[in-house]
Amino acid sequence: MGLWQKLTGRRAENPAAALYQAVVARGREPHWYEAGAVPDSVNGRFDMIASVLGIVMLRIEHEPAAAEVTARLTECFVADMDGQLRQIGIGDVVVGKGIGKMMALLGGRIAAYRDALASDAAPGAFEAALLRNLYRGEDPGADALGHSAAALRALRAALAETPLDALMAGRMP
């Protein structure tokens, strides 16, 4: 327990909270659901936020502080998903299993996107990864898939140029 928590009885804010809030805001942008045809549903919103978070985590993984930042960002994700599950009426017994499944889905996305975005990946590999992970195997059509792929690639490129301290302050490009 830190000094702040001892004095106030409150936990210190997670240093990755601003970045996580920016990830969620990006994942909720209407263009994903309109031009990108991501289903505007609980699962679709989860898939979109997890996809944006995956791209952000790929950006962070080569930083010297990667382990700490990733752990803190993951804590934000878990706390958010825990709250979301409880809000839709999932009971305590099932919440842990749900969080475990969500973590596995996030980890799978990160691995799939890393492999698909590698410089030696086959053409169309990223789109195929999006079909499996973001669209859960349902083809949204070439235009929608192209929109989401281009927007996530543009986010990845912009993140590469953004300093970690700016990201941690919630300033996503």
Q: What is the pLDDT of residues 98-112, one digit of tens each?
A: 677 777 888 889 999
The residue assigned the tokens 């953004």 is: 162
- Average pLDDT value for residue range 62-86: 84
Of all residues in the chain, the percent with pLDDT exceeding 70 is 86
Over residues 113-169, the pLDDT tens digits come to 999 999 888 999 999 999 999 999 999 999 999 999 999 999 999 999 999 999 999
- Tell me, yes or no, whether 61 lies in a domain: yes
- Tell me, yes or no, whether 4 lies in a domain: no
- Tell me, yes or no, whether 38 lies in a domain: yes
Query: What confidence score (pLDDT) does residue 12 get?
Result: 60
- Tell me, yes or no, whether 79 lies in a domain: yes
- Average pLDDT value for residue range 13-20: 90
- 95 CA to centre of own chain: 19
- Tell me, yes or no, whether 7 lies in a domain: no
- Tell me, yes or no, whether 114 lies in a domain: yes
- Tell me, yes or no, whether 47 lies in a domain: yes
Enclosing domain of residue 53: 17-168
In 3D space, the residue among 43, 74, 49, 70 whose CA is nearest the CA of residue 136 turns out to be 43
Q: How many domains does the chain have?
A: 1
Query: What confidence score (pLDDT) does residue 65 get?
Result: 83
- Tell me, yes or no, whether 154 lies in a domain: yes
